[in-house]
A and B are shown apart, each in its own frame.
Chain A
Amino acid sequence: MKELFPIKQVMGFIFSLVLTAVALAVYFFDMSFTAGMTILLVTAFIQAGLQLVMFMHAGESEDKAHIYTNVYYGIFIAIVTILGTLLTMVWGYV
């Protein structure tokens, strides 16, 4: 019985509920924009990672290497695009 119980998935599910609750706190508690945004960004990325790895089984098939390469590539491009845009449009704009 113990082997059949999906303890990992249940823990993951509880953890994702906790993350959702923490994100919701931003709405209910009075805090600065920066603090709220930081909480939202951090919980959002942990949540996305959790969903991808645990519930979408990213690391469980023989395509593990392909999937993670794609994910890292995507993260790299997203970061470059966002930081590059900020650099061009805000920080480096004279």
Chain B
Amino acid sequence: MEFFERFAIPHPSPAIYASMVAIGLTVIAIIAGLTYFKKWGYLWREWLTTVDHKRIGIMYLISALLMLFRGGADAIMMRAQLSMPENKLLDAQHYNEIFTTHGVVMIMFMAMPFIMALMNFVVPLQIGARDVAFPRLNALSFWLFFMGAMLFNISFVIGGSPDAGWTSYFPLAGTEFSESVGTNYYMIALQIAGIGTLATGINFMTTILKMRAPGMTLMKMPMFTWSAFITNIIIVFAFPVLTVALAMGTLDRLFASNFFTTNNGGMDMLWANLFWVWGHPEVYILVLPAFGIYSEIISTFARRNLYGYKSMVASMVIISLLSFLVWVHHFFTMGQGAFVNSIFSITTMAIAVPTGVKIFNWLFTLWKGKIVITTPMLYSLLFIPLFTIGGVTGVMLGMSAADYQYHNTMFLVAHFHLVIIPGVVFAMLAGLTYYWPKMFGFMLNERLGKLSAWIISISTLVAFIPMFFSGLDGQARRMYTYSEQAGFTMWNMISFVGAAGLAIGFALIVYNIYYSIRYAPRDIGSDPWDARSLEWATHSPVPEYNFAIVPNVDSTEAFWDAKKKGHKLFKGELEKIHMPNNSPIPFIMSSIFFVWGFSFVFAMWIPLIIATIGIFGCMAYQSFEKDHGRYISVEEIKETEEKLGGPTV
């Protein structure tokens, strides 16, 4: 029995026990369902072992949506707790755990996989490739992310959630003040997911540099591919910092080293420093692909080519450099002198310039365009004013002297939510709606889609604008309750109403998916939006080889040229196509990584050693395996093309 005591939750509540039961029942239901419908083989062959970038993209998408609802549930609980003074819904410890998991889940396990989903699905299609450069590594990336996310998510029912904030600042996150295994979960789950992300970065850099269709020079790539390229460069240079910081934190917590302790020569603030050296580029890792999505959507539905292509590219390159020069603005109040703060204030202001260039390019694209208001376009148009509120308050926070007033208040919380929600979440919802027909062969209902866009936009304002005021009045973030005399009651109540509105908006999206699966017409062709780039030049849903003949490109909008200017996209004859084989290794290796992480969290050394051997065993097996892929014959291609309705252009 003693062995099992370590898995007990240090701070239980009826809600957590209810979650345990719910998780147990869900697992049983899934296993029973798969067995009853005899879907185990299908699941294994078509999904768990797949190396197809489109299927991996869809799995990223499903994970991101699941995590959106987990993080959303956390958010609703927080807003409900704060809606009234002296509320007893959550106690201090639960509140700490919930704001921590909300932050980590939303950034690392919702926003990241969402951009990965769209990058995986869209980039190879946009550059006319058959798959990514390293398909098996791509599967490994996904499964490492997935296992990291699952490891993080079981923390609240086994051993206790992390509770030191999503930034996990030391010394609070050290063993002295965080005794439970919660912060171990944080360190190790992020480590596993981070390795996956780093591998994706390398994979997509190589894909974009080496696998473009003939004629597509770098300056003829669609804007989303450019943004993905820059993003992956930032990933490759920023994530190693997180890896190292997490490794040092893990050593501190499990092996009593002294990197971030307050004595024995440790430096607790170094964690904050390293965290934000990664953390600020991370902001651009999230927002640049979102900007890429907006560029695609705005140019498609303004029926014009994107204004200022070269300046768009240049501004992203400049952002990628500047994003590494501003990290200190996250801790202006830590004690460094005015000189240091001034330097980082100036670099922070400087990054507003290339961002402004992008905003103006979108506005000039809209100027004299024939604007068609569809759901993706509606999100893109609503993004501009909402993001501006978040951006302008960001400039306020960027002034280091003024930041002493705003630091760690709800003002900051309002700012970054009004940046991330319009900047990233709207883009992902717009991208989801925009690429849905390409992924699944039918469209989401437009009326429901527009309704949810409006509900989400208005609720975002209702939920977060009040925080600016309560923050200026002195309400600190991460405070689990307040007294009535503090005068925050009204603002927090309005905020709660907004949060409820957001919940309704997202529920409506789920209903829309259900409704569209049942009722949406399936005969929409391959180009329902009258779009401009290569991904729309193949069938929907996309055949596994993407393009029967590799497209031939001579402008940024090859498909548009093919439709309107008689450009010949597909030259030559059908040939047999070389494709990679499926492999169980990524899934098996990542599952072992899950065991590895779990053993590490609880400092169970023997299972840890066995799992480590297992991981190296998988790598060795992979190294000696002779797999040259397979060929799809011309007859098979003809048959598939026939079934999907013949040539598209």
Contacts and interface: CB of A to CB of B under 8 A. Distances in A.
Interface extent on A, as a size class?
10 to 19
Contacts of A85: 270, 273-274, 277
Interface of A: 63, 66, 70, 73-74, 76-77, 80-81, 84-85, 87-89, 92-94
Contacts of A93: 335-337, 340
Contacts of B270: 85, 89
A84 B323 CA distance: 13
Contacts of B336: 88-89, 92-94
A66 B233 CA distance: 12
B267 interface: yes
A74 B320 CA distance: 12
Nearest to B325: A80
A84 B237 contact: no
B209 A88 contact: no
B269 interface: yes
9 contacts: A70-B233, A74-B237, A81-B324, A84-B327, A87-B343, A89-B269, A89-B270, A92-B340, A94-B336
Contact of A92 (B277, B324, B337): B337
A68 to B, nearest CB: 13
Nearest to B269: A89
B335 A66 contact: no
Given A81-B241, A85-B277, A88-B273, A94 B335 contact: yes
Contact of B324 (A70, A77, A89, A94): A77
Contacts of A73: 233, 237
B328 interface: yes
Nearest to B270: A89
Main secondary structure of the interface of B (DSSP, over half): helix
A85 B325 CA distance: 11
A88 B340 contact: yes
A88 B321 CA distance: 19
A86 B118 CA distance: 38
Contact of B267 (A63, A66, A89): A89
B339 to A, nearest CB: 6
B297 to A, nearest CB: 30
Contacts of A87: 340, 343
Contacts of B325: 80, 84
A87 B338 CA distance: 12
Interface in B324-355: 324-325, 327-328, 335-337, 339-340, 343
Contacts, number: 44
A80 B273 CA distance: 13
A58 B323 CA distance: 27
A77 B594 CA distance: 32
B209 A66 contact: yes
A40 B273 CA distance: 26
A81 B281 CA distance: 12
Contacts of B277: 81, 84-85
A91 to B, nearest CB: 8
A25 B526 CA distance: 68
Contacts of A88: 273, 328, 336, 340
Nearest to B342: A92
Contacts of B339: 92
Nearest to A69: B233
A80 B328 contact: no
B269 A94 contact: no
Contacts of A94: 335-337
Given A74-B237, A81-B324, 9 more contacts: A63-B209, A66-B209, A73-B237, A76-B321, A77-B237, A84-B325, A88-B273, A88-B336, A93-B337
Contacts of B237: 73-74, 77
Contacts of B335: 93-94
Contacts of B233: 70, 73
Nearest to B277: A81
A84 to B, nearest CB: 7
A81 B278 CA distance: 10
Contacts of B324: 77, 80-81
Contacts of B321: 76
A89 B337 CA distance: 10
Interface string B256-273: 000000000001011001
A80 B320 CA distance: 13
Which of B241, B269, B274, B336 counts the most chain A CB atoms within 10 A?
Answer: B336
A81 B269 CA distance: 15
A85 to B, nearest CB: 6
A85 B340 CA distance: 10
Contacts of A63: 209
A84 B280 CA distance: 14
Contacts of A76: 321
B479 to A, nearest CB: 28
B3 to A, nearest CB: 42
Contacts of B269: 89
A84 B328 contact: yes
Interface string B613-624: 000000000000
Nearest to B335: A93
A92 to B, nearest CB: 4
A27 to B, nearest CB: 22
Contacts of B337: 92-94
Closest 10 CB pairs of A and B: A92-B340, A94-B337, A92-B336, A92-B337, A88-B336, A77-B237, A77-B324, A93-B336, A88-B328, A88-B340
A78 to B, nearest CB: 9
B473 to A, nearest CB: 30
A94 B334 CA distance: 10
Interface in B155-195: none
Interface string B265-298: 0010110011001000000000000000000000
A29 B277 CA distance: 37
A84 B335 CA distance: 15
Contacts of B267: 89
Contacts of B273: 85, 88-89
A76 B336 CA distance: 23
Nearest to B281: A77
A82 B343 CA distance: 15
B172 to A, nearest CB: 18
A84 B325 CA distance: 8
Nearest to B205: A70
Nearest to A82: B277
A31 to B, nearest CB: 23
B332 to A, nearest CB: 10
Nearest to B327: A84
